[in-house]
Amino acid sequence: MTDDAIRDRKDQHLDVVLSGGGRHARDAGFDAVRFVHEALPDLDPAKIDLGADFLGRRLKAPLLISSMTGGPARAEAINAHLAEAAQALGIAMAVGSQRAALEGGASGLDPSLRRRAPDAPILANIGAAQLTRGFGVDEARRVIEMIGADALIVHLNPLQEACQPEGDRDWWGVGAALEALVRRLEAPVVVKETGAGLSAATARRLADMGVAALDVAGAGGANWGLIEGERATDPADKAHALAFADWGIPTAEAIAKVRAACPDIVLIGSGGVRDGVDAARAIRLGADLVGQAAGVLKAATVSTEAVVEHFQVVIRQLRTACFCTGSASLQDLRRAPLQ
Residues in a beta bridge with 52: 59
pLDDT of 107 strictly over 60: no
Q: Got the DSSP string for 126-191?
A: EEGGGGGTT--HHHHHHHHHHHT-SEEEEEE-HHHHHHSTT-----TTHHHHHHHHHHH-SS-EEE
How many Å is the Cα radius of gyration of the chain?
19
Quote the pLDDT of residue 70.
54
**Other CB atoms within 10 Å distance of the CB of residue 268:** 27
pLDDT of 7 strictly over 80: no
Mean pLDDT of the chain: 92
Q: Would you say 129 and 171 are in contact if contact means Cβ atoms under 8 Å apart?
A: yes
pLDDT of 105 strictly over 60: no
Residues in a beta bridge with 266: 213
Quote the pLDDT of residue 302.
94
97 — pLDDT class (breaks 50, 70, 90): confident
CA nearest neighbour of 288 among 61, 44, 12, 39: 61
More reliable by pLDDT, 23 or 241: 241
**Range list of β-strands (E), the chain:** 52-54, 57-59, 63-65, 92-94, 122-127, 151-156, 189-193, 213-215, 266-269, 289-292
Buried b / exposed e over 135-150, threshold 16 CB at 10 Å, is beeebbeebbebbebb
The pLDDT tens digits for 215-255 are 999 999 999 999 999 999 999 999 999 999 999 999 999 99
Q: 221 φ, ψ to 5°?
A: -115, -125
Identify the H or E element spanning 84.
helix 72-89
Residues in a beta bridge with 152: 124, 189
What average pLDDT score do residues 47-64 get?
97
The pLDDT tens digits for 261-302 are 999 999 999 999 999 999 999 999 999 999 999 889 899 999
